[in-house]
Amino acid sequence: MAYSEKLIDHYENPRNVGSMDKNEMSVGTGLVGAPACGDVMKLQIKVTPEGIIEDAKFKTFGCGSAIASSSLITEWVKGKSLDEAGSIKNSQIAEELALPPVKVHCSILAEDAIKAAISDYKSKNGVADAAE
Ligand code: FES
Ligand code: FES
């Protein structure tokens, strides 16, 4: 199976690996697991009072595609509003990294993790969800 250069780059030089203090009010934490393979992804965001994501970190215990997907999404969400970050689709990640079909669920993990981090931040800070 041939992996794309972007994927290999994010896997070999992952951006924004690390963690933040999950008890801080400005931090939202998302922890999700993939039922298909048991891989686990933790993604955290630090949000300004204006609702902009100023920093993002991840720790992923999983395959290379999951690591690359989380690395990519932490880059993408920085500087975005919560709503913008929450509307990132796994298909955009899969396309950017040219994930093979069996690895598409790895990008779903990243979408789920950012959504979980956003809702954790919102519930901690009493932010109502935008009308759906
Ligand atoms: Fe083995 Fe994901 S299934 S690392
Ligand atoms: Fe399961 Fe990648 S997250 S194989």
pTM of the model: 0.92
Query: What total number of domains does the chain contain?
Result: 1
Q: Is 55 in the pocket of ligand 2 (CB under 6 A)?
A: no
Interface pTM, i.e. ipTM: 0.72
Range of the domain at 101: 5-124
| Pocket of ligand 1 contains residue 28 by CB under 6 Å | no
What are the start-end ranges of the E strands in 7-125? Answer: 27-33, 40-47, 53-61
Q: Tell me, yes or no, whether 129 lies in a domain.
A: no
d(CA 106, CA 122): 25
Model confidence pLDDT, tens digit, residues 57-106: 999 999 999 999 999 999 999 999 999 999 999 999 999 999 999 999 99
User: Whose C-alpha lies nearest to ligand 2, atom 3?
Assistant: 106
Question: Residue 82: which CATH number?
Answer: 3.90.1010.10
Nearest atom (ligand 1) to Cα of 66: 2
Ligand 1 atom at minimal distance to the Cα of residue 34: 2
Question: Is residue 83, in this structure, part of any structural domain at all?
Answer: yes
